Amino acid sequence: MRKTPFTFFTISTLLLAIILLSSCQDKKINLFVAPNGSDMEGKGTIEQPFATLERARDEIRELKTEGSADKRFQVNLREGTYFRNDAFELIEEDSGTDGCPVVYSSYQDEKVIIHGGINIPVETAQNVTDQNILSRFNSTVRNEILEIDLKALGITDFGNLHPVGFARPYGPAWAELFINGEPCTLARWPNDSTVTMGKIIDSGSIPRDGDFTKRGGVFTFDSDRPLTWKSHHDIWISGYFQHGWAEDAVELAQIDTINKTLTTKQPTLYGFGTGQNFNRWFAYNILEEVDRPGEYYIDREDGKLYFFSSDALLTLEISMQERPLVSIKGASNIHFNGLSFDCSRGMGVYMERGNNNLVSNCTFQNLGIVAVCMGKGIAPFADLMHEGPGEPASEIIGSYAQHQYSNTVFNREAGHNNGVLNCTIFNTGAGGIHLSGGDRLTLEPGNNYVENCRIHDFNRIEKSYRAAIDISGVGNRISHCELYNAPSMAILLHGNNHLIEFNNIHHVCQVVHDQGALYYGRDPSERGHKVSYNFFHHLDSKHLTAAVYHDDGACGMEVFGNVFYKAGSKPVLIGGGMDNSYTNNIFIDSELAIHVDNRNQNWASSTLDSGGIYDQRLKMVNYNQPPYSEKYPNLAKYWDDNSSLPKRNPVSKNIFYKVKQPYEGNKDWMPFLDDNWITDENPGFVDEKNMNFKLTKTAKAFSEIPGFEDIPFEKMGIVNQ
């Protein structure tokens, strides 16, 4: 009987925290911080609190030098908003000790907000009076549009719009507007749809093919709407300009109103193309398109903000800070608990080179990048999936990433035993969490984790390859999370020996073509992953989408005990790889369940060339020497094992219920064993109608598949702790 890891990980995480904290309760020193406190006159008591986190941090440093280094320090933040104009930095000397962390926490669950922006008085919003401006708005809404003179309020840093998308590096967002706590949209057209790419006059330079001349593309448009835009300055377009997995955003250099063509300032990685149903675009940052509630436009020259709100204005906020709200570098045993991180152009919490740090019971929203990043830097796309080092994509010049697949990627110095626990993350700009740790050269595990977190709506600005959780390194874990509502993937995976368990993943990959909810590939050395007891459901099936996507030769993943329900057009896609096993899973209601192909023998054969992408990545980790040769015996003989042929991908003891085609591809590449059960008869679910796919004790599945193990469906997703 396979023992589920639920008891060991989830319960041990909680018990360990309780034991460690209780061991130093008698040595606890409380400090207090409040928005109305004073760093000059405050004493850090509840009656006379400090005003800033820095003052409390410095007090702890001083107390340590006076002989209190073995104490447990707790900084209690009183209710209110703490506005930041720089990162709150913690370094090695700010560490707690094993068993006695330094805790920064809301006091008795009071609402505490760490804020990276500016509150604008709602009374400063006025009707537009300039007739030249007013005439540019749609006549049906122009009297509802408001303006604020930001320069008059001393706000002059609006940030800069910049290219964002596939194969581009991360960067802070520009100034964003939030009305009543909700993110607004840069005025765009069309409002809630996209426009088909017209005829391609010039595809622009194509860095992917070695053309680095930075030439933008030129294509036609059919609509008359762009002809109504009086200014053509600082207008941007976003779309899937060539491939369905590569969304990009570039600035327009010219709108030719006579010939009805658009010319872009920048190229995209693959150039511009047309003809596919996903080759579509929309334009944004256009004054005339402020025409529905929630849209805004900033005139950067005049310093005027224009926006449309149909609701009563309770709060107006503009994001300002580009650095992380909290930066932990070299510090260990730090705990942030019960805080909200809000309204920033950058990320929430950044940590590196520390151990036993924990972010728990926190909320992250309205951030420009991600909520939490563990490890140095955030990897640009040039080292991810479709493109790789040694290929033109990694040599992109200009605004593209010039990242090399180096030792920095193998060990991002994320530390060990760090976690994000019981957090809620939403309305972020470019993903949710970057989870790293461990060393890919030695296979030392990081043991870092994301547990019991709800992450949704995490692609407000960047829509491709910005996952809810980007996991890399060695030996890290994602468990009991709910990940949903995204145009692209939920989990982007790199590295070795990760555990993905008990997650509820749904309504992702809603826009992209040729992508998976859980996605990895193009590196045969990335092995040892276990994907167990996850619920994948309601993935788009109009495009090529998968629940688990082993792309371009991906190897070495054990997929056990998962439930796939309406899980994409190809719930499982094995793209030419080997050593991927599917056992004890349930597939429900899909045209096809598992696809396997031999792409490395045909259109992707160049990946196997001497000096090619696989060769490079295998050599970088010394794949045929310990520890890799010992941990993965099949990998050591990769080149002697007909590496172009998919193999050892067994499909065994699975249930295929209401599945028209259980598998697609050569049986020898999997193989598809006789102990699978293909049926249109309810296998014995507790409540199929309400998506309770727990099997009853007397379910027919157990007799049809001897040895089939009960799947703990009730434990998938968020749990109460």
Which of 434-455 are b and which e, b meaning 16 or more Cβ less than 10 Å from the residue's Cβ? bbbbbbbeebbbbbbbbbbbbb
Over pLDDT 90: what percentage of the chain?
88
pLDDT of 97 over the 60 cut:
yes
CA distances from 295 to 285, 309, 320, 342 (A): 10, 8, 19, 20
pLDDT-derived band at 67 (thresholds 50, 70, 90) equals confident
> Phi/psi at 393 (nearest 5 deg)?
-60, -35
pLDDT-derived band at 311 (thresholds 50, 70, 90) equals confident
Please, are residues 494 and 524 in contact by the beta-carbon 8 Å criterion? no
pLDDT of 389 over the 90 cut:
no
Average pLDDT over residues 174-196: 97
Distance CA 516, CA 359 (A): 28
Distance CA 34, CA 644 (A): 63
Based on DSSP, count helices (H) and strands (E) in the chain, helices before strands.
9, 58
pLDDT of 63 over the 80 cut:
yes
Average pLDDT over residues 433-438: 97
pLDDT of 336 over the 90 cut:
yes
Q: What is the pLDDT of residue 25?
A: 61
What is the C-alpha end-to-end distance of the chain, expressed in Å? 26
pLDDT-derived band at 323 (thresholds 50, 70, 90) equals very high
Other CB atoms within a 10 A radius of the CB of residue 368 amount to 27
pLDDT of 208 over the 60 cut:
yes
The HSE-up count of residue 636 (CA atoms within 13 Å, CB side) is 10
| pLDDT, tens only, 3-28 | 444 444 455 555 545 544 555 666 79
pLDDT-derived band at 403 (thresholds 50, 70, 90) equals very low
Distance CA 398, CA 710 (A): 54
pLDDT of 1 over the 60 cut:
no
3-class DSSP assignment, residue 610:
coil
User: Position of tokens 């580009």?
Assistant: 322
Q: What is the pLDDT of residue 385?
A: 30
pTM, to two decimals:
0.94
Q: 142: which DSSP letter?
A: G
Distance CA 650, CA 457 (A): 35
Least confident of 270-279, 365-374, 378-387: 378-387
| pLDDT, tens only, 627-636 | 999 999 999 9
Average pLDDT over residues 79-100: 96
Q: What is the pLDDT of residue 609?
A: 95
Q: What is the pLDDT of residue 407?
A: 37
Average pLDDT over residues 227-235: 96
Q: What is the pLDDT of residue 408?
A: 40
pLDDT of 656 over the 60 cut:
yes
| pLDDT, tens only, 540-599 | 988 999 999 999 999 999 999 999 999 999 999 999 999 999 999 999 999 999 999 999
Which of 482-512 are b and which e, b meaning 16 or more Cβ less than 10 Å from the residue's Cβ? bbbbbbbbbbbbbbbbbbbbbbbbbbbbbbb
| pLDDT, tens only, 460-474 | 999 999 999 999 999
Average pLDDT over residues 301-325: 96
Query: Nearest to residue 601, comparing CAs of 624, 579, 569, 578?
Result: 578
Over pLDDT 70: what percentage of the chain?
92
Query: Nearest to residue 75, comparing CAs of 95, 108, 102?
Result: 102
Query: Nearest to residue 324, comparing CAs of 349, 341, 343?
Result: 349
**Token digits for 224?**
């008359």
Average pLDDT over residues 600-609: 95
CB within 8 Å of 605: residues ≥ 6 apart: 644
3-class DSSP assignment, residue 354:
coil
Q: Is 310 exposed, middle or buried (0-12, 13-18, 19+ CB in 10 A)?
A: exposed
**Token digits for 525?**
């050395």
Distance CA 471, CA 488 (A): 15
CA distances from 106 to 31, 34, 35, 76, 78 (A): 12, 10, 12, 6, 6
Mean pLDDT of the chain: 92
CB within 8 Å of 673: residues ≥ 6 apart: 650, 651, 652, 653
**Token digits for 390?**
């040694």
Average pLDDT over residues 68-91: 93
